[in-house]
Amino acid sequence: MSSSPATLTDRHRNRIGGIGDKNTKQLLWRVVSKYDGSNQQNMRQRFAGNDGHARIPDRQRSFSSDICDAAAQTYLITRLTFTLLGYLGVGYRWITKVVALGCYAMLLLPGFLQVAYYYFFSNQVKRDIIYGDQPRNRLDLYIPADIDEPKPVLIFVTGGAWIIGYKAWGALLGLQLAERDIIVACIDYRNFPQGTISDMVEDASQGISFVCNHIADYGGDPNRIYLMGQSAGAHISACALLEHAIREARKGGSISWSVSQIKAYMGLSGGYNISNLVDHFHRRGLYRSIFLSIMEGEQSLPRFSPEVKIMDPCIKDAIPLLPQIILYHGTTDYSIPPDASKEFADALQKVGARTELVLYDGKTHTDLFLHDPMRGGKDDLFDHIVSVIHSNDKEALAKDAMAPPRRRLVPEFLLKLAHWVSPF
């Protein structure tokens, strides 16, 4: 049974107690107490059945309901943003980043508008499927046009620096993979300060569980499920996968999905040893006090660092349960250095896990996920992902070889300008 709002507040109080400085604690307490006392209760009442347990609606909500919900979430996020800024202050670094982000978004607007139209109006997109009773426990499904037989499924966890992640960030990937007869499930999760890293990992695991157990209802093949995360989403999904493998190896308690159901894990531009990234993020504007608050204090960094965790001899029985792990990274990624994937790959190989590292020369944090897909035509990362998912399907591989080039969404000169002004 779900915890009551009071219990949730107590849980957050225990987490906040040893985190950050005085101002950070005051900020977290104000946000959590308000959020737990109102929004948690509203969500629980809205989605509770007669027995008080969460239920999954049988149909999608109306477009007007989506608009109202989007407006409510926008108001909440805006309020939390201004609260954070009130404590942190607005310095030169953040002003320049906000300006750069605005210019970046405007340059890519032609592509964003096309993807947004598809996202809101295509009948191949099933939005806001509820997988749990917590805020943001929703996912989007991107369905191929022809569901004549069960299709392979990619579960995707978006990035966003643990603060601005949102399931719609995966719309471009969902659109393009659906064209290759692959169902994509983009999982949403609570961001900071709605939740801390434990909440994010819990949400991701619950979303994975929903897909594993219900994707057949949407035309997916439960025997061909793949997991992928990008940036912060790569970290969160890796934590969820490893935690579940450890739980299965220890055979402690019930589980709602099995690691064996995941055929491969793909991490794009992720960070897997959080202890090594604290100073790096601090220099880039994700200040130490906030980042440690997200990660529930410095003492929790090893727990949420998959690279560190897999080296623990106590969990050696969990390593053989892990699926094939493929790590992708651009060599000129400044948001999360490529060494993060290199070192994780080395650690995985040392403990005997099946691992592949794919580096893309000269690619940045946004090149691989946004610029190249919007450029259209051939895309090495996209082709590699499709080849992994279709690796045991000769007919699908033959269709991929004959597929027409993907269309361009943004003119080349705008992409080059966006590359130059990108704050990521």
- Residue from 12, 235, 244, 365 carrying the catalytic annotation: 365
Cis amide bond preceding 411, omega within 30:
no
- Residue from 205, 209, 231, 422 carrying the catalytic annotation: 231
Look up the pTM and report it. 0.82
- Residue from 133, 333, 367, 379 carrying the catalytic annotation: 333
Task: Look at strands 125-130 and 324-330 and give their pairing.
Answer: unpaired
Which has the closest alpha carbon to 270: 390, 162, 387?
162
Q: Residue 105 half-sphere exposure, CB side, CA atoms within 13 Å?
A: 8
Output the six-digit token pair for 90. Answer: 């607005």
- The CATH number of 98-421 is 3.40.50.1820
**Catalytic status, residue 231:** yes
Q: What is the pLDDT along the chain (424 residues), one digit of tens a residue?
A: 333 333 444 445 445 444 445 554 555 545 444 444 444 444 444 434 433 334 444 444 455 665 665 565 555 555 555 555 554 455 566 677 778 878 888 999 999 999 999 999 999 999 999 999 988 999 999 999 988 899 999 999 999 899 888 999 999 999 999 999 999 999 999 998 889 999 999 999 999 999 999 999 999 999 999 999 999 999 999 999 999 999 999 886 678 899 999 999 999 999 999 999 999 998 888 889 889 999 999 999 999 999 999 999 999 999 999 999 999 999 999 999 999 999 999 999 999 999 999 999 999 999 999 999 999 988 999 999 999 999 989 999 999 999 888 899 999 999 999 988 888 7
Taken in order 228, 238, 201, 225, the sign of the CA dihedral is: positive
Hey, is 330 helix, strand or coil?
A: strand
**Catalytic status, residue 235:** no
Task: Tally Cβ neighbours within 10 Å of residue 139.
Answer: 28
Which has the closest alpha carbon to 136: 98, 193, 88?
193
